[in-house]
Amino acid sequence: MRQTPLRAIVCTALALTVTPSGAVIPTPPANVFGKEYTDRVDINAKGKAEPLRELEWDGLGIVLDGPRFDKFPRGTNIAALDVDGLAYQLDFLYMEVVQDRAPLIFALAGDKFYRYRMDTRNGKGSGIWATEKQINAGGVTRVDDLDLHGGNGDADRFSLVGDPAGVAIWAPPSAGGRNSLQVTTRQIGNAIGLADKYLPMLDVDAFMFWQPIGVKTPAPSSNDTKPIAGKDKLGLDDFGPEDFEDLDGGPPQEIDAIPPDPTLAAELNDRRPRLLFSVAPIMDGQNVVLDGGEIWEWDMSNRNVNAARFLTHGGVTWSTTFEVAKAICGKNAANCSEDVVALEAVGTSVAAIPEPGTWAMMLAGLAVGAVVIRRHPRA
């Protein structure tokens, strides 16, 4: 732990050196509370494979075991499961990112880090938001989804790789019992107007959730829970509406580093549960049906076909035609995936170049820190 303050100083210094005076930047990861993420494949804090475990991270490389979403019926093949989506039931900054007023945090398939793209209000541009070393000093294989803000380990909505059993989003039990289904794969297919023949391939791979206090997500109909041929049944041969739990939405989360939002009260009084999500790519032979870079926003109280709309954020609409790799990776587009696999939002901070005197003090601080560490080696 002795290294932590030193690392914090180094990180701060690095952040400051790359930021022009007065520029608005996404809040650095170490300053955001309540961070959780899931690796592919799922691991625990010791770096060992542990299906359905998610990790808490401090933004300086240290990880702790977060919740484990393993409350499935006896006989479920837990070892085959992997979390690919994480959210809190009332995601902080949900409305801000949907309204293009807060930076979007995301990852592309294969990334070992999280990226950001600025909102239109604060200026365009994109970059790395959290590096592999900031996420997990023990190493990242490739990042799946993440959850930010609020308390530690508070993520309470998750998705599984492949959406087995035709369930897109699950919730852990509120008081004992088993995980309950919250959104089915058929509901997602309906919301994006996907032909039924592609349902076996439909897989939500990143999402944010918005369910204000006292609001329940609309229960699935019997049609919404009809089995999908070709989907792993997860040992749930006869799952149905009875496996749905009417969970009330949660309390607002803590505010991080941004001023209280005057529109928050109005947003909390809006009684419509919402979902921001992306899915895995779907191919039909050589034809791309969905490239996985789509981001939709869906008012879940609207059960019409095609009720979801593409997110417009940072001056672009995240539809199938938007070339994600080209826009985000530029000349390195060939090494980038189109597939968005993580979705979150952060506030912004205004960074300034420190006065020369401050630099001298920081450098002196670094030197002192180095001396202290050298004089007191670990036993």
Q: Would you tell me which residues interact with Ca ion (CB under 5 A)?
A: 38, 40, 42, 82-84, 144, 159, 163, 203-205, 278, 292, 339-340
The smaller minimum CB distance to Ca ion, of residues 94 and 207, is found at 207
Closest CB 84 distance from Ca ion, rounded Å:
4
Closest CB 85 distance from Ca ion, rounded Å:
5
Residues 300, 274 contacting (CB under 8 angstroms): yes
The smaller minimum CB distance to Ca ion, of residues 11 and 188, is found at 188
Closest CB 206 distance from Ca ion, rounded Å:
6
CA distance 149 to 36: 9
What Å distances lie between residue 285 and 269, 277, 282, 289, CA to CA? 46, 25, 10, 10
The smaller minimum CB distance to Ca ion, of residues 19 and 126, is found at 126
In the β-sheet with 104-108, what is the strand arrangement from edge to edge? 126-130, 114-117, 104-108, 340-345
Closest CB 164 distance from Ca ion, rounded Å:
9
Tokens, residue 376 = 């007191």
Closest CB 345 distance from Ca ion, rounded Å:
17
Count the Cβ atoms, other than its own, within 10 Å of residue 269. Answer: 9
Closest CB 36 distance from Ca ion, rounded Å:
11
Residues 351, 23 contacting (CB under 8 angstroms): yes
Closest CB 54 distance from Ca ion, rounded Å:
8
The smaller minimum CB distance to Ca ion, of residues 27 and 182, is found at 182
The smaller minimum CB distance to Ca ion, of residues 145 and 267, is found at 145
Closest CB 260 distance from Ca ion, rounded Å:
32
The smaller minimum CB distance to Ca ion, of residues 143 and 268, is found at 143
CA distance 230 to 312: 33
The smaller minimum CB distance to Ca ion, of residues 82 and 261, is found at 82
What Å distances lie between residue 244 and 16, 67, 73, 170, 293, CA to CA? 48, 21, 14, 9, 29
The smaller minimum CB distance to Ca ion, of residues 93 and 343, is found at 343
Closest CB 53 distance from Ca ion, rounded Å:
9
CA distance 310 to 318: 6
What Å distances lie between residue 46 and 53, 54, 64, 147, CA to CA? 11, 12, 8, 20
The smaller minimum CB distance to Ca ion, of residues 84 and 91, is found at 84
